[in-house]
Chains A and B, each alone.
Chain A
Amino acid sequence: MRRLDTPLASLALALLVGAVACKRTEDSVAPDTQDPGDEVVAADAVEWPDEPFRAERPTPGPIKDVKIPTIETFELDNGLEVFLVQQQTLPTVRMMFEWDLGEVNDPKGKTGVASVCGDLMDEATQTKDKPTFAAAQSDHAVSVRVRPGTESTTISVSALQRELGAALDLTAEMILEPGLREDDFARLLEQEKAWIEQSKGSPSSIARRLFSSLVWGSKHKYGKIETDASIDKIKLADCKAWVRELEPDGARLWVVGKITQDELRAELDARFSTWKGKAPKPVKFKAAAPAKGTIFFVHVPGSAQSQILLGHPGPTRDAADYEATQLMAMILGGSFSSRINMNLREDKGWAYGARGGFSYSRGGSYFTAGSSVRSDATGPALIEIAKEIERMRTSDPSAEELDREQAGALLAMPTKFANATRTLFSFRSLAFYGLPLDWHQGHQERLRALDTAAIRAAAETHLQATDHVVLVVGDGEVVLESLDKIAEDEVFGAGGIQFLDTDGNPVPRPSFDDAG
């Protein structure tokens, strides 16, 4: 309400040419730090002042412009596309090679290839075994890490400026002459299986592992989960093939630090002149095929809390009403102040926190809401979340909610560009979704244009009234009665309850009659 139009108009997020303008801090001298001293009074005798000004929220000063550091983009001869944000304040350089290759590219039946092979690759090179390679990095306080993700893989390099040469020597050696030893590979397979086993122990890790397979469908590329069986199928040859995919032509290199374009080119030319070849193209995705309206339940006896997650497929990242969807989701479940958190935590006291929102990937998104709730509040918490979704869909948000999230989103934007690294990551996310690098310009305009009707429309369009996928992991003896009722009432749809083991396979309903 207050201060939406005029002040924010001055929030000019222009892409400036040139580096961030930094002022030198002035010399100034502080008064002596004093000991609090003797003249203190007893607490009960104390009057705290209550000046009238305290009753008024302060009037903000004029909003300042945000200066966004420049991003330089250029392509190397081998086809590697480079994005550089320079900074002159810290003697550091961070680099990130990025490929459109991730878990979604794992060969059929071999889910886990990216994960295992990424680990294998960053351990060693042909001439340096694991301890030697690790020590070589530690000797220079640099780090070279392969990080496979769902749909992209990065090699991250960080170094103090003066150690960049050492870091890039090791990076080039790892890329051009990877180790890929058979015994390291065998050890990593066993470790991967042990971590899978570990993830079957607690409600939160079980839910994290299984939910994507339920909301995307187990046949979907986003819905694959690693199992012992899929890990056992992976051969060293798969890793050799995976590493060969990491070629420069079509890959992206993100760089932030105290380094110029010329210096960067020279560092890369000196080490990567023989590096050539095509990087993988992004894969295509089918539509999500969720198990609609079904409550999935995994029994973990003795759970003090249940992990609950519910959701359904959502819009793509480039949808025209992205901003309305974003604000709507913030009001519903995106922050501490959101309805779901205020309800489950601050009103009911059932949870430490509860959230909801859209989780985006290149192939689409899904809406999800969830929490870790005290076991005896599991059913009631699901019903409250359902009520909040329904209220969001069927009534306008309040003016205060809109104002808070709209002003908040606009005014918090400088934090995305607060320093060179954050700036680079903001740009990287845009590029990842195929959005233009000046996207924030239009984003502000679209945010400003939103009203309560737009928020309501986004809720009606992108929140489902029914046919949610629901996952509950907790103690069946405590929670099943309330889940039966929710299934019977078809609160989330007509799919009933399906019982799963910790790998997501259907199992019979647990029985609590026998033991004590």
Chain B
Amino acid sequence: MTRGRLFRILGLGLPLLLIAPHAVTAGEVEQGAEKPDTELAIEYERYTLDNGMEVILHRDTSAPLVAVNIWYHVGSGDEVPGKSGFAHLFEHMMFQGAKHIGEDVHFDILREIGGTGVNGTTNSDRTNYFETVPSHELETALWLESDRMGYMLDLLNEESLANQIDVVRNERRQRYDNVPYGRERFAVAAALYPEGHPYRYLTIGRHENLEAASLDDVISFFEKWYVPSNATLVLAGDLEIDEAKALVDKWFGSFPKLAKPEHVVVPAPELAKTVRTEIDDPFARLERMHFVWHSPAMLAEDDLELDVVAAALGSSGWGRLSKRLVDDEKIAQSVRVYQAGSGFSGSFSIIVTLSPGDGETKRAQAAKAIQEEVDKLVAEGPTKDELARHVISVESSFVWGLEELGGRANQLQWFNHYTGDPNYTDHYLERLRGITPAAVKAAAAKWLTKPRAEIISIPAPPDAKSDAKSDAKKGPK
């Protein structure tokens, strides 16, 4: 069955080895005869309950702790028009209580048993819930998780929904509406995704949609998406496999077998032409340019190649655009470049925060630099050194990512969700190491020569006693 090859992550016997040969230094000879005989696999066992719920167990007894991590394979990408923000609002409702555990006690109970890292998160593709508990209290965590999977609707009420709508709207204010460049994030999504596309209003959603959420929405969302067959439970840590299986069976095994919900894939449209949006930002003091292209979905073809483009442009110190704008021309405070794949599609961003003063000139200069550096990568690809730096950096981050139990649990979930293989690491590294400068060049040419969106945030200091509206001025480039 699926299981980690070779390297047992916390086994004493096998020294974890090193990442493979060409993870060596750029410009130097490869280090000796190291064979790629060990990979960064996490040992695990995966099985499926009769009701379709997936379970992944990873055993590591070095500390008396178990990381409990459950992914429901539903996210804001599954929302329908008019219900933006609902998947995340629903996540909040999952903490409000369930039939047997009681109302609003999830955090209290976990605190009392020494639980840490208790939370839930939502993105476009999935919603996850997690906690780390002392291993002698594993069953209590399963009690909490199974009760909200099975009996959350029993305690659902208008008052707690109204409260969580307020809380989530406060969350939006705190993270988006009252901080620099919060408006930019909405403007980017609005430029890339048309009305009706589930990515258009971000995972946090629109205030008016949140306000309109009803108990019926909660009930139908729960019944459609929060079925056992749409969930994957990971237990990682100090556990005995047989005992853990028996506990999972006790708490989840008798749940009914319900149809696994279907996701409706909504592909990203092409931009017909480059669009430019200028927005006033009352909380920013520095101008910022965000150029963004549609790009491949998570782990899709060219996803890893565009990561190399991002590193070549944006790495601090040696990245081409970063060096040029921050250190040589000295017109930028910072440069960030990244490829971000989601389930349906991705986006590739170049974000330049300009230094103060003379915005118009600096904007023109930065736009020119962005165009020239992208063109150059499209024409020539990255150097071998740039590619090697990126490869070793990713390999290294996989090693560091294994240190925390929670990180391992999450990695198993992550790969399982996107590829069906919890230990996709091997394939990932194989793909990574197989990348050539020519392949990066081809990916850049395919994606970054298309029309893009350009979002310009312009500080709108409140001195003028404006009432700080978020009206976007839109115009063709």
Contact = CB atoms under 8 A, between A and B. Distances in A.
A135 B389 contact: yes
A33 interface: yes
Contact of A414 (B3, B25, B65, B317): B65
Interface string B173-194: 1110111100000000000000
A202 B179 contact: yes
Contacts of B140: 57-58, 60
Contact of B256 (A41, A91, A202, A408): A41
Contacts of B323: 130-131
A26 B241 contact: yes
Contact of B404 (A23, A62, A419, A514): A419
A89 B256 contact: no
Interface stretch (A72-80, A267-275, A297-305): A297-305
B399 interface: yes
Given A63-B136, A408-B112, A92 B400 contact: yes
A141 B385 contact: no
B18 interface: yes
Given A407-B112, A414-B63, A131 B327 contact: yes
Contacts of B104: 346
A190 interface: yes
Interface stretch (A192-200, A357-365, A459-467): A192-200
B468 A301 contact: yes
Contacts of A89: 9-10, 16, 62
A40 B112 contact: no
Contact of A58 (B1, B112, B143): B143
B139 A30 contact: no
Contacts of A204: 174, 178-179
A349 B166 contact: yes
Contacts of A23: 11-12, 61
A408 B114 contact: yes
A67 B135 CA distance: 14
Interface string A424-443: 00000000000000000000
Contact of B403 (A132, A138, A202, A419): A419
B229 interface: yes
Nearest to A140: B25
A68 to B, nearest CB: 10
Given A131-B318, A134-B315, A301-B468, A66 B64 contact: yes
B100 A302 contact: no
21 contacts: A40-B258, A48-B151, A54-B147, A57-B143, A59-B139, A63-B64, A66-B63, A88-B12, A139-B27, A139-B388, A204-B174, A302-B282, A336-B111, A346-B167, A407-B113, A411-B113, A411-B134, A411-B137, A414-B63, A414-B134, A515-B465
The 7 residue pairs across chains A and B that have the minimum distance between CB atoms:
A134-B317, A411-B114, A302-B468, A349-B166, A36-B52, A141-B396, A301-B462
Interface of A: 20-26, 28-34, 36-37, 39-44, 46-51, 53-55, 57-67, 88-92, 123, 130-135, 138-141, 158, 160-162, 166, 187, 190-191, 193-195, 197-198, 200-204, 300-305, 335-337, 345-347, 349-352, 372-374, 403-405, 407-408, 410-415, 417-419, 421, 514-516
Given A30-B1, A201-B459, A202-B179, 18 more contacts: A23-B11, A26-B241, A28-B45, A29-B45, A51-B254, A54-B143, A66-B64, A90-B16, A91-B16, A131-B318, A141-B23, A197-B286, A345-B167, A346-B104, A347-B163, A351-B170, A352-B167, A411-B114
